[in-house]
Amino acid sequence: MKSIEDLLSEHPFFAGLPAPMLELIAGCGVNVHFDEDECIISENAPADLFFVLRSGKVAIEVDTPRQGPQTIETISSGQLLGVSWLVPPYRWTFGARAIDSTSAIAVDAACLRGKCDDDPELGYEMLKRFAVLVRDRLQSTRLQLLDLYGTHAS
């Protein structure tokens, strides 16, 4: 059976991280599993974890007053779920639900934030990687908005 450190080292997000950093991050992680249609994150709840997806698919949802939860993005293995743990007030700004049976590593946010505070090199490396993730998701959102609200030729 592979350790959390081994699993993280195989994940694209953590590619190239030195072994001592992987060991620190792995110390905050635990394997989790979600069944199809199981709630993973509730909008506005405390963001005390983030998830390294190993298999399955997850719908990122926003609750709307008239239609209830609406899927705004779908992510799958090789991706990360959750960035709200990075900045106060550490609350989820969306919900997430497993579309399929999903396996992930749940990383304890307070644990990792503490390790990043104690090791600025680790903190900077994590911040750089999460900044790329946020940039990519923002670009995806922009493209969705262009498609939704863009002008269409007649």
Q: What is the pLDDT of residues 99-152, one digit of tens each?
A: 999 999 999 999 999 999 999 999 999 888 888 877 776 777 666 666 666 655
In a domain, 104, yes or no: yes
Domain with residue 139: its CATH number is: 2.60.120.10
pTM for the structure as a whole: 0.85
Total domains, the chain: 1
Query: Tokens 């249609």 correspond to what residue?
Result: 37
For residue 38, which of 54, 61, 8 has the smallest C-alpha distance? Answer: 61
In a domain, 154, yes or no: no
Residue 90 domain boundaries: 4-149
In a domain, 138, yes or no: yes
Render pLDDT for 2-61 as a digit per residue (tens, 0 to 9).
999 999 999 999 999 999 999 999 999 999 999 999 999 999 999 999 999 999 999 999
